Structure 1
Amino acid sequence: MTPFVSHAPHHASHPGLIQRLKRAEGHLRHVIAMIEGQQPCLEIARQLAAVESAVTAAKRALIHDHIDHCLVHQTGDALAETKALSRLL
C-alpha cells in the first residue's frame, strides 16, 4: 500500500498537538518511574490508561484536522485516503 502524502507543510493545529504529545511523553516517563519504583499495579494501569487516552485524543485531532484541511484540496485518491484514515480512529 502506498503511503499518502499531505502537501501541506504545516497545520495550524500542530503546535497544540505537539504540546499534547509532550505532556503524554512526560506522563509516560512518570509511568516508567512508577514501574521502576515498584508502585502498585493498579495505579500503574490507571496512569497507563491516561497516557493511552491522551495519545488517542491526539491521533483523532490530527486525523480530523487532516480531513478538514487537506482532503478538501485533493482529488482522486482522497476517498481512499479518507477510508484509510477512518480505520485509524
Structure 2
Amino acid sequence: MSEKHLHKAHPDVIKRLKRASGHLQNVISMMEEERPCLDIAQQLHAVERAISAAKKLVVHDHLDYCLEEVASAGPAAMRSSVAEFKDITKYL
C-alpha cells in the first residue's frame, strides 16, 4: 500500500476534477439528447481544459512539495535546475 499524503493543492485539484466530471456528464446528456456537434465539442473542450489544469496543478504541487524540499538542501546548481524544470512544465 502506498503512503498517504496531502499536498496543499489537493483540495483545488479535487474541485477541478469535480468540475471536469460535471462537464463530462453534460457531454453525455447532450449526446443522448442528440444536441449539435458544435455544442458537444465545446463541452468536450471544457472537459479537456479542466483535466489539463488539474494535471498541471498536481505536477507543480509535486515539484513544490517534493523536489523543492530536496533541492533546497543541495547546491545552487541543483536549485537552479529544479527551478528551470518547474518553468518548463508550464508547457505540458
| Interval of TM-score (by shorter of Structure 1 and Structure 2) | 0.7 to 0.9
Normalised by the length of structure 1, the TM-score is: 0.72
Q: Note the C-alpha offset of 1:73.
A: 3.4
- Alignment correspondent of 1:46: 42
Superposed CA RMSD: 2.6
Q: Which has the higher helix share?
A: 2
Runs of 4+ more than 3 Å apart: none
Which of the residues 4, 9, 14 maps onto 1:13? 9
* Aligned length in residues: 77
Which of the residues 29, 32, 35 maps onto 1:33? 29
- Which of these two proteins has the greater Rg computed from alpha carbons? 2
Identity %: 51
Larger displacement relative to structure 2 (66-75 or 20-29): 66-75
Unaligned runs of 5+ in 1: 1-5
Larger RCO, structure (CA 8 Å, separation 6 or more): 1
Given the alignment of the two structures, is residue 24 of structure 1 paired with residue 12 of structure 2, yes or no? no
Normalised by the length of structure 2, the TM-score is: 0.70
